[in-house]
Structure 1
Amino acid sequence: MSNTTGKAFDARIFKRLMGFVKNYRTQFLVASVSAILLALLAVARPKLLQYIIDTFFESKDKTGLLNYVLIMAAVLLGEVLVRFVFIFIANKLGYSIIKDMRMKLYKHMLNFKMSYFDTSSVGKLVTRAVTDIEQIANFFGQGFFMIIADLLTMLAVIIMMLFMNWKMALITLTVLPVIVYATKLFQLKMKASFKEIREQAANLNGFVQERVSGMKIVQLFNREKIEYKNFKEINNKHKKAWVNTVMYYSIFFPVVEIITSVTVGLIVWFGGFQIIAEGSNTTAGEVIAFVMMSEMLFRPLRQIADKFNTLQMGMVAGTRVFEVFDTESHIDATGTIDAKGFNGHIQFENVHFSYIENEEVLKGISFKVNPGETVAIVGATGAGKSTIINLINRFYEIDSGIISVDNKSINEYTLESLRANVAVVLQDVFLFSESIYNNIVLNKEVSLDEVQKAAKEIGIHDFIMSLPEGYNYNVKERGVMLSSGQRQLIAFLRAYVSNPSVLILDEATSSIDSYSEQLIQNATDKITQNQTSIIIAHRLTTIKKADTIIVMDKGLIVEQGSHAELLKNKGYYHNLHEMQFKHAEAS
C-alpha cells in the first residue's frame, strides 16, 4: 500500500476506517444528530442577542428583557447538554472501534508465518498495535465528528448571515477563501510532518525495545557510549519531526488570527456606516450579531485545521495499520484432518527449502522416522538441523518435496491438530511473566495435581518445590528469575504435560549445567520410550541410545545409522565424535 503523502485527505483509507462504524450505527446516529443540533443552537444565540438589543434596549422593557435572557440561558444550557452527549458518544465510538481493530489486528498477527517476524521489527509491530491504533481513536473522537460539527455550524452561520444582511455577509465571505487556502496548505504540510513523526516514533520504539532486551550484550561489550550516541541521533530526528509541526502551527494560527481581526474591523466599519446612513435597516444588534457570527465562522475554521491534523494523523496511522492487515503472510491452512493423535510415522521425501529465495538450506533431503523410534540429527551449525523442526510444525512452507505424518502430507492436517500433537523443547526457552504452573500448562485444562504428578515422573518436582512459592513462583519477563538450565527443565515438563505424539528436542542440553543435563537426560530416557522422538544435539553423548542418527552437512544428509555403525564407518560422524572427545579431554 502506498502512502499518499501528497494528499491532504485519503478517501480510500477514510472509507476503510469508516467501515468499522457499521457495528455501532446507533452511536453514529446519535453523534450525527447531536452535531446538527449543535449547529442550530449555535446560530440561535446571536439571533436572540440581536433581538434583545434591538427590541428591549430601546423600549426599556424589563419584563421582556428578562424573559428573553431566560430563553437565551435555556438555549445555552441546551447547547451544553447536547455538546456533552456529542463529545461523550463520539469518543466512546472511537474507543469501541479501536477495540475491534486491535482485536482483529492481533488475531491477524497471531497467524503470520515465522518468516514475517524474522524480517519485521518488533518495536514497529508494537507501535502499529498500540500507538497507531490509539491515534485512530482520536480520528473519530477528536477528528471526524468534530470536523462535521464545525462544518455544520459554519454552514448554519453563513445561511443566517445571508438571511440577515447579505451585504455584510459578503464582506465576511470575501475573506473566507483566503483562510480556506491557507488551511489547505497547512494541512498538506502537516500530513507530511505527521507521517515523519510516526516513522520516527516507530524507529525510536524499535531501537529502545531492542536495546533494553539486549542490555546484557550492550554492557558486556562496553557499548554504552555508542548506543547512547545512536539513541541521541534517533531521538533528535524524532524531535526535529515534532519541531517542524510546531513551526507550521506557529505560522498558521497567527495569520488566521490577523485575518479574523481585520474581518471584524470591516464588519464594524461597514455596519456602522450603514446605521449612520439614512434609509438603512441595519441595526446595532445586527452588527453585534455579525461580529459574534464572524467569530463563530472563523473559530471553527481554525479548529478544523487543528482537528484535520488529528484526522490526518489518524489516517496516516490507519495506513500503517492497514499495511499489516493487508499483509498476506499466513500458512495455507486448508487441511481438514483433525488428528486426535499420531502413530508417529514421519517421512521427508526429497525436501527442498530456503528462507531466502535461491539460497537453499535443505537440498533435497529424505529420511523417515518409524513409530516409537528415537532419531537423532547432528551436524555443524548451519547444517539445517533446526530447520527440520520448523518444517514439521509448518512454521514455514517447503519449496518442494513432501513431508508426511502417518502417510499423509502435513498439509492435509489442520494446523491446530498438527501442532497439538508435536511438542518441542527449544534451546532458547521462552517463558512468560507468569507462574511456573501457567508457563507449563499455557492455559490448557491441566490441573496442578496432574502437573505435579508429571514432574515427579520425570524427576524435577523437587527442583520446582525448592523455588519460592513452588509452582506459583513468578519467573518474570522471559523467565529471567531462572537459570538457563532451570528454564530448560520447565520447558521439558511443559512438553511432557502436553502428552505429545511426537517429541522434538532442539539442542535441549547444549547450554546447561551438568546437574540439569542429568535431570533432562533421565527425563528424556523415560518419555522417549516407545514414542516417536527427534533429538537435535551438539553433545553426542546425549544421543548414543538413539535408534538412528542422521548426520547433516550444508543442507544434505551425509550419513545415517546407529551410534556404533557410524563410528565403525569412520566417516563424518566419527570425525565429529573424535573432535568432541578430544576437546572434552583437553578442557
Structure 2
Amino acid sequence: MINLKKIILKYKYKFLLVILLIIIISLINTFLPYIIKQTIALVKSDVVFHDIKQKLFSLVSVYLITTLICAILEFLKSTILAKNTQDLIYDIRKTTYKRIMDFNMDTFSNMHISTLVTRMTSDISNIGEFIGRTLPMFLSSGVFLILVLIVMSFVNIYFAIIMIVSSIFLVVAVLKIGKKMAYYKKREIEITENLNDYFGETFSSIKTTHIFNIQNERRQKFIDYSSAELSMSTKYFDSQSILTPVRSITRYFIISLILYLCLQGKVANIDIGVIYLVVSYIDKFFEPLGNMLYHYEDIQKGKISMHRIDELMGTDENIENIYQGENTEKLYGNIKFSNVSFSYSNKKSILENVNFSINEGERVALIGETGAGKTTIVNLILGFYKINSGNITFDGKNIDDISLESLRKNISFIQQSPYVFNDTIKKNIVVNNENNFSDEKIIDILKLVGLYNKVTNFKNGIYEIVNENSFSKGEKQLLAFARAIAKDTSIYIFDEPTSNIDVKNEQTIKNIISEVLKDSTVIIIAHRPTTIENVDKILKVQNKKVVVKSRKNIVHINNSEKFT
C-alpha cells in the first residue's frame, strides 16, 4: 500500500507555511470589516469633516495596504499549494508506478488495462487535488469560521449564539445530504470505470465488431452504461443543488433575525456601523461554507480514489522482488521439472506431478492441444508464477534460490505477438543494453533476420521512432528474433516462431535456430511439425502431464502432418 503519510511529511514545512499563511490571511479578512465599521462610526459622528479628514485618510490607507498585503499572501498561498499539488501527484504517481511494475504476473492477470490507466491518471490526480488543494481550503475555511465566531462573540454574544446554532443546523443538513451524495458519486465512478473498460474492449475488438456486424449491439451496451452513469450523475447533482438553497435560507434567516432584534430594540448599543460589521461577518461566515459545499465533490472523489489506490496496491504478497535470491551470472540451460503441480489463483489444476528434463544445448519441442498447459510451462520457466508443489531447477539450482533478475537475464522469450515500443528501432532490438551495441552490430542482426531492407525504407534508419503500427505481424516476429539474438542468452524460448511469416523468412528462422543458436538450449512451442524439424526431443502436454516423445511420433496423414 502507498504510505501517503510518508509522502505528505516530505512537504511538511511547505504545508506548515501554508497553514501560517492561512491564519494570517484569515486574521486580515476578519480585521478588514472592522476598519469599515470604524470608518462608518467616524463619519456618523458629529465632528466636522476637516477634523476627521486625517483619521479617515489613515483608515482608508490602512484598509488599502492591508488589502494589498492580503492579496500578495493569497497569491503566495495559491502558488505554494499549486506547486505542492503537482509535486504530490508526481510523487504518488512515481511510487504507484514503481509498485505496479513490481507486481507479479498473477496480479496483472486479474486486472484490466483500462483500470490501471484510470488509477495512474485520474485517481492519482484526484488524490493530489484532495490533499494539495481541497484539504488546505477546508482548513482555511475552518480557521476563518472560528475567527469570525470569536469576533462576533465580542461584538455581541447573542449574535454569535444565533450564528452557532444556525451553523449547526446547516452542518447537520450538509452531512445528511452529503451521505446520499457520497453514495451517488461512488456509484457514478464505478459505472464510469465500467464504461472505460467497455471502451477499451470495444476499440481493441473493432475488427471483430465489424466482421460480425454487431455495431448496433455494441452501441446499445454503450447506451446502457451511459444512461446508468447519467442517472447517478443526475441524482448526485440533484442532491447537491439542495445545499445551495439550504445555505441561502440559513444565511437570510440569520440576517433577518439579527435585523429584527436590532429594530425591536432587543439588543442595546447597536448602531449602523455595528450592523454593517455583523452583516459583513455573516457574509464572510457563509463564504467559506459555500466553498466547502462547492468542493464537497472533490472530497468524495479524493476519498474514493484513495480507497481505490490502496485497493490496487494490495499487499506484499502481490510483489515480485526480482533481486531476491542468488545472482547467477550464467545459466547453462539444464532445466528439470520434478513432480511439479500448478494452478492459477487456486483455481482448476493445470499441471499435476509433471516430470521432465531438458539438457544444455538441446532443442526441444513443446506440443499439445490448445489450453493443455504449454504456455503455463513457459511461464513457470520464466518465473512469472510460483508452483504449488514440486521443484524446478536450473543447472541443479532450485528456481526459488535464483534471483528472477538473473533468471530472466539468461532467457530470451520470443512471443507469438511481440510488442513494439514507441521508441527507436535500435532501442526495440537491444531494449535494456543499448550502450553496448554498435550500429554496425545492429545492422548485422537485421540482415541476419531479414529485416534490413525494411529498416532502410525508414528515413532515420535504426533511429526511426516506431510503434505497433510500423510493422506487420510477420515483421514483428522477425524483430523479436533480432531482440533474442541481441540479448545473446543460453536459453531461448519460441512461441510458434514461424506462425506469421512467409516461407522464405520461415527458412531463415529455421537456419538461425539451427546454426546461430546451435550451442544454446532452445524450447519451441509448436502447433505444426514443420516448425520443429531437427529437434532433439518432443514434450507433449496432455491430461495435466508431460509425455516425452521422439520425432518418430510425427505421422503423416492425407499429406498433412499432426502430432500423436
What's the TM-score, normalizing by structure 2? 0.93
SS state of the match for residue 367, structure 1?
Answer: strand
Letter in 1 for 2:325: T
| Structure 1 unmatched ranges of 5 or more | 2-12, 568-572
Q: Deviations over 1:235-276 (max 9, x none)?
A: 12222221112101211101211221121122222233449x
Alignment of 1:314 with 2:292, yes or no, is no
Letter in 2 for 1:433: N
- Once the two structures are TM-superposed, the CA of residue 209 in structure 1 deviates from its matched residue by 1.5
Label 1:365 to 1:264 Cα distance change in 2 as closer, same or farther (>3 A). same
- Once the two structures are TM-superposed, the CA of residue 553 in structure 1 deviates from its matched residue by 1.7
Partner of 2:238: 247
- Once the two structures are TM-superposed, the CA of residue 503 in structure 1 deviates from its matched residue by 0.7
- Once the two structures are TM-superposed, the CA of residue 469 in structure 1 deviates from its matched residue by 4.1
> Which of 271, 281, 294 is matched with 1:283 structurally?
271
Partner of 1:144: 135
Letter in 2 for 1:143: T
Partner of 1:354: 343
Partner of 1:582: 560
User: In 2, distance between residues paired with 1:458 and 1:469?
Assistant: 20
- Once the two structures are TM-superposed, the CA of residue 459 in structure 1 deviates from its matched residue by 4.5
Across the two proteins, how many residue pairs are aligned to each other? 555
Partner of 1:10: none
Moved more, 145-154 or 467-476: 467-476
Q: Would you say the 8 A contact 2:539–2:548 is kept in 1?
A: yes
Moved more, 127-136 or 18-27: 18-27
Partner of 1:9: none
Letter in 2 for 1:314: G
Q: Would you say the 8 A contact 1:193–1:242 is kept in 2?
A: yes
SS state of the match for residue 578, structure 1?
Answer: strand
User: In 2, distance between residues paired with 1:187 and 1:94?
Assistant: 25
User: In 2, distance between residues paired with 1:433 and 1:332?
Assistant: 27
Q: Would you say the 8 A contact 2:426–2:462 is kept in 1?
A: yes
Label 1:201 to 1:353 Cα distance change in 2 as closer, same or farther (>3 A). same
User: In 2, distance between residues paired with 1:66 and 1:358?
Assistant: 83
The percentage of counterpart residues that share the same residue type is 29
Letter in 1 for 2:544: G
> Which of 68, 71, 75 is matched with 1:77 structurally?
68
- Once the two structures are TM-superposed, the CA of residue 332 in structure 1 deviates from its matched residue by 6.1
Partner of 1:297: 285
Q: Would you say the 8 A contact 1:504–1:534 is kept in 2?
A: yes
Partner of 2:399: 410
Alignment of 1:52 with 2:39, yes or no, is yes
Q: Would you say the 8 A contact 2:351–2:545 is kept in 1?
A: yes
SS state of the match for residue 10, structure 2?
Answer: helix
- Once the two structures are TM-superposed, the CA of residue 425 in structure 1 deviates from its matched residue by 0.3
Q: Would you say the 8 A contact 1:133–1:317 is kept in 2?
A: yes
Q: Deviations over 1:373-409 (max 9, x none)?
A: 1111122212211211100111111111111111101
User: In 1, distance between residues paired with 2:508 and 2:465?
Assistant: 22
Partner of 1:208: 199
Partner of 2:537: 548
What's the TM-score, normalizing by structure 1? 0.90
Letter in 2 for 1:284: I
- Once the two structures are TM-superposed, the CA of residue 497 in structure 1 deviates from its matched residue by 0.3
Partner of 2:9: 22
> Which of 252, 269, 283 is matched with 1:261 structurally?
252
User: In 2, distance between residues paired with 1:471 and 1:406?
Assistant: 37
Partner of 1:101: 92
Alignment of 1:386 with 2:375, yes or no, is yes
Q: Would you say the 8 A contact 1:56–1:62 is kept in 2?
A: no
- Once the two structures are TM-superposed, the CA of residue 171 in structure 1 deviates from its matched residue by 2.8
Partner of 2:461: 470
User: In 2, distance between residues paired with 1:502 and 1:219?
Assistant: 41
Partner of 1:4: none
Partner of 1:7: none
SS state of the match for residue 328, structure 2?
Answer: coil
User: In 1, distance between residues paired with 2:310 and 2:346?
Assistant: 26
- Once the two structures are TM-superposed, the CA of residue 552 in structure 1 deviates from its matched residue by 2.3
Q: Would you say the 8 A contact 1:333–1:411 is kept in 2?
A: no
- Once the two structures are TM-superposed, the CA of residue 450 in structure 1 deviates from its matched residue by 2.3
SS state of the match for residue 533, structure 1?
Answer: strand
> Which of 24, 29, 32 is matched with 1:37 structurally?
24
Label 1:370 to 1:161 Cα distance change in 2 as closer, same or farther (>3 A). same
Partner of 2:513: 524
**RMSD (Å) for aligned C-alpha atoms:** 2.1
Alignment of 1:341 with 2:330, yes or no, is yes
Q: Deviations over 1:20-44 (max 9, x none)?
A: 2111122111111111112111110
User: In 2, distance between residues paired with 1:172 and 1:491?
Assistant: 72
